[in-house]
């Protein structure tokens, strides 16, 4: 049976969070399909990178190591993957829906004439009966994704072309090490056979990457603010509450767009997905794109002046009122009750 492949992104010598999540998902798909899980890593100075990859249950890791392959650029990475996939013929290929994956995935899928489903929120194996052709397809990948601004959820299949390719955002799948001692094999690719000089047409002149400082996905409590916080200064209330409760601060896109808070804190369809023990939504209306990133939280408190705010429909506790009044009270009574 053909394999499931995961493209591993590398940041500062570390396999990206989203790739770890996809390997976890890839392993469970491979188990169900009774096939191997393989990974491909492309970059420079990758000695030992397999140690970060095998624990997720990867059977074979293909490594393309060359100084021209870092930082990422579209054409050489595409050439390597396209040729490797032509040789290996995976049945499924997964990539992060990151700046890299969403640049690379479509180019690879176009070259291979395979389908690509963007931003999947769920991937499951299932059968499909094509009534017109009276043909039954077994073990297809159901690629489930929101579209239409998040107002519909579509199940996409790719019956005839391989690989079945999908991108998934960071934080959507859960990551879990299968076995820290799992051992697979390493295949080093002869890079010169995969890339040509023409692949280096785009030159990177300058690059400034920031390490992510916030760890919202790991936070047990997320205190999120929306446009209803009213100002950057008022966001301080959220940092105060998050600090006493031991949580992180998140935000809606409207709050990010208004400049109240940095982009990496955005929660939702085009931000991160969080599943904390407690989510406190402050001055957030709860549009579908926002809810997509938080509605699996174990408990949700919504604080909003509007008793009809859509966020209330997913909340366990609805507090109708002004954030500026309520948040200080929450801090006060939390302190009082934990003394």
Partner 1 sequence: MKAYKIIVLAKQVPDTRNVGKDAMKADGTINRAALPAIFNPEDLNALEQALRIKDRFPGSTVTILTMGPGRAAEIIREGMFRGADGGILLTDRAFAGSDTLATSYAISRALKKVKDFDIVIAGRQAIDGDTAQVGPQVAEKLGLPQVTYVEEIQKIENGKVEMKRRLERGVETVSCPVPLVLTVNGSAPDCRARNAKLIMKYKHAKTVTELQNSNEDYLHLYNDRPYLNIPEWTVNDIEVDHAELGLSGSPTKVKKVENVVLQAKEAKVITSADSDIDDLMRELIESHTIG
Ligand X SMILES: Cc1cc2nc3c(=O)[nH]c(=O)nc-3n(C[C@H](O)[C@H](O)[C@H](O)COP(=O)(O)OP(=O)(O)OC[C@H]3O[C@@H](n4cnc5c(N)ncnc54)[C@H](O)[C@@H]3O)c2cc1C
Binding residues: 252-253, 266-270, 283-290, 304
Binders of partner 1 among residues 106 to 125 (CB under 8 A) are 106-107, 109-111, 113-119
Q: How far apart are CA 274 and CA 272, in angstroms?
A: 6
Among residues 68, 64, 22, which one has the least CA distance to residue 46? 64
Give the interface segment with partner 1, choosing from 31-39, 58-66, 146-154, 226-234 (CB under 8 A): 146-154
Q: Is 259 in the site for partner 1 (CB under 8 A)?
A: no
Shortest separation between residue 211's beta carbon and ligand X, angstroms = 22
Among 73, 269, 273, 312, binds ligand X (CB under 6 A): 269
Q: Is 71 in the site for partner 1 (CB under 8 A)?
A: yes
Exposed e or buried b for every residue in 96-107, given b needs 16+ CB within 10 A?
bbbebbbebbbb
Please confirm whether the linkage preceding 163 is cis (ω < 30° from 0): yes
- Burial (CB count within 10 angstroms: exposed 0-12, middle 13-18, buried 19+), residue 22: buried
Q: How far apart are CA 326 and CA 282, in angstroms?
A: 10
Chain-centroid distance, C-alpha 248: 19
Q: How far apart are CA 105 and CA 230, in angstroms?
A: 39
Q: Is 163 in the site for ligand X (CB under 6 A)?
A: no
Judged by CB, which is closer to ligand X: 164, or 252? 252
Judged by CB, which is closer to partner 1: 65, or 103? 103
Among 240, 264, 296, 306, binds partner 1 (CB under 8 A): 264
Q: Is 132 in the site for partner 1 (CB under 8 A)?
A: no
The one of partner 1, ligand X, none whose footprint includes residue 201, by CB under 5 to 8 A per kind, is: partner 1
Q: How far apart are CA 136 and CA 11, in angstroms?
A: 42
Find out whether 59 and 184 touch, Cβ atoms under 8 Å: yes
For residue 100, what are its two tokens? 């890299």
The one of partner 1, ligand X, none whose footprint includes residue 253, by CB under 5 to 8 A per kind, is: ligand X
Binders of partner 1 among residues 174 to 213 (CB under 8 A) are 201-212
Residue count, binding to ligand X (CB under 6 A):
37
Q: How far apart are CA 60 and CA 58, in angstroms?
A: 6
Binding footprint of ligand X on the chain (CB under 6 A): 116-118, 145, 147, 149, 152, 154, 156, 226-228, 252-255, 266-271, 283-285, 287, 289-290, 293, 303-306, 309, 322-324
């Amino acid at each position: 049976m053909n394999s499931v492949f995961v493209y591993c992104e590398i940041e500062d010598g570390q396999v990206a969070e989203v790739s770890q999540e996809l390997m976890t998902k890839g392993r469970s798909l491979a188990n169900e399909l009774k096939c191997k899980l393989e990974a491909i890593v492309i970059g420079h100075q990758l000695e030992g990178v397999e140690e970060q990859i095998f624990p997720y249950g990867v059977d074979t890791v293909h490594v393309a190591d060359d100084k021209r392959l870092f930082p990422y650029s579209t054409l050489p990475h595409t050439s390597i993957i396209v040729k490797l996939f032509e040789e290996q013929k995976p049945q499924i290929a997964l990539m992060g829906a990151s700046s890299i994956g969403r640049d690379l995935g479509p180019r690879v899928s176009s070259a291979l004439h395979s389908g690509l489903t963007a931003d999947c929120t769920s991937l499951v194996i299932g059968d499909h009966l094509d009534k017109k052709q009276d043909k039954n397809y077994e073990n297809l990948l159901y690629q489930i994704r929101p579209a239409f601004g998040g107002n519909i959820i579509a199940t996409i299949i790719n019956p005839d072309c391989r690989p079945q390719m999908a991108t998934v955002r960071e934080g959507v799948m859960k990551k879990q090490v299968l076995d820290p001692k799992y051992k697979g094999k390493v295949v080093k690719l002869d890079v010169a056979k995969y890339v040509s000089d023409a692949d280096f047409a785009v030159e990177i002149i300058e690059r400034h990457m920031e390490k992510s400082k916030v760890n919202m996905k790991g936070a047990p409590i997320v205190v999120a603010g929306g446009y209803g916080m009213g100002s950057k200064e008022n966001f301080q209330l959220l940092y105060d509450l998050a600090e006493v409760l031991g949580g992180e601060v998140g935000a809606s896109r409207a709050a990010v767009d208004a400049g109240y808070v940095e982009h990496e804190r955005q929660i939702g369809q085009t931000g991160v997905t969080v599943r904390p023990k407690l989510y406190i939504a402050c001055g957030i209306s709860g549009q579908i794109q926002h809810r997509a990133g938080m509605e699996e939280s174990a408990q949700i408190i919504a604080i909003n002046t509007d008793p009809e705010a859509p966020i209330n429909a997913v909340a366990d506790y609805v507090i109708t009122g002004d954030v500026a009044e309520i948040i200080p009270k929450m801090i006060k009574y939390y302190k009082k009750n934990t003394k």
